[in-house]
Structure 1
Amino acid sequence: MPHAVAAMPWMLASIGVLVLLFLLVKALVAVIGHDPYTEHGAGSRSEAVMVPGVPVATASVLPSPSPSPTRTRRESGGWPGTAPSPAGRTPTASRSATPSASVTSSAAAPSPTPSTLLNDDAPGITYRGRWAVSRDRPFGDHHNDVHYTIHDGDAFGFTFTGTGLDYITSRDPDYGDADVWIVDAGGRPVKQQRVSARADRYKPQQTVFSVKDLPRGKYTIWAVKRNGIYFQVDALRVRG
């Protein structure tokens, strides 16, 4: 019994040490196992998420869109907070920028195109083949004369600067067809047409071929007799 009493202080000290060790171990476990993000609540972590093709960003650091400012009475045409003007309403700036009808009509009005009428003997008209000239004619031809041929394959040509040209000749039951070309300065065809000079009676100064509204530039006309008895050139009208 005296030995048990003597050992009591040592036993209490040992129990105290064990309790102290237990408390220290528990404290260490609590510290090691503590999650620093749990105190902010679910979904509040700020780790970045990598997505292919999308820059790194987090919901917590992205700025929230600022609300649209409330339209004032002057802006909306009503009291503050009312709906904007209807979509069909044209802003004042747009209406003032739109040209008036009178300005548009004036700008769109085409100006008359000047033209020059050249006789069949004008400089620059070239004749290939066996052509002849008939003068002092009483039939109403321009300047009372024409160039003519009776041979298929004979041709004439003329180079001009402008936006178009009319080929003027006579029509008659004995006259036939011709192939006409317009080519540009680079030799590229612009228009090709077979024309006929046939008619039930003699008709002077007839436009059998015409081209117009071309971009202003240099062009050449060629015409070749294909059939019939006569093929004539009376005049050429160049459109400026």
Structure 2
Amino acid sequence: MSGKSERIDVYPYQRTVRGGDSKKRKKKKGRGWPWSPPGLALTRQAFLLCLAGFFLGRALLLGEMVPGAAAFVAAAARTFPGAEPASVVGACAGLITVVRGWSLGGAMVTVALTWLCTLALPGSLKRPRLVVPALVFSLTLVVKTGLAAVGEPSTYQYIAILFEALFAALLTVVFLIALPSVHKLNGLSTLTGEEIFALLALLAVVVGGTGDLQVSLVSLKGVLSRLIILVAALLGGVGLG
């Protein structure tokens, strides 16, 4: 009898422990796949970053330069840590639609290195609006000049690469101002003139990346252009619109 009573006393304890284990297992299952990379989850933020990255990757400057892809990825990595892989995917997808050959390889390598190097920067970095654009400028110049040197480079190519690096650095500054101010759109009065200009510049580059895309007879560029005019009128009044 004493042996049975000991078993009876032990059994509820074991059942309680197992029940606790099952609850822990349920909680672990609810967390999702442990191997899924951060930032690739289907969230609104990731979707918007991917969509913006796609159009910015497609944005051609002077018919051959693509400075917006690396600039946007660098700004997204600083502004939305953990969600920036979506911007990398979108930017690379956009580049594939407009660039070919060695130029595509150079652009994608520049985007990848920009992403990794920006993530390596400390979060408490002083003067990020100076350091990050300088990083984008250096990577664009080094990678694309190196690839150009492999073939038969010309003076025109080197000058074009230099200008692309400069434009990429300038766009990085603009995007570093524009992306953090997106959170302020709930209260439009808190936006400064600098932030309004940066947001409009970002939208303008996105519109430039739409190219000749259209749905049926509706041009995507036309729709977004009208949207920018409405947003400008809303933010700055009738004069700015």
TM over 0.5, shorter chain: no
Pick the structure with more strand per residue: 1
TM-score by length of 2: 0.29
Pick the structure with more helix per residue: 2
Greater Rg by CA: 1
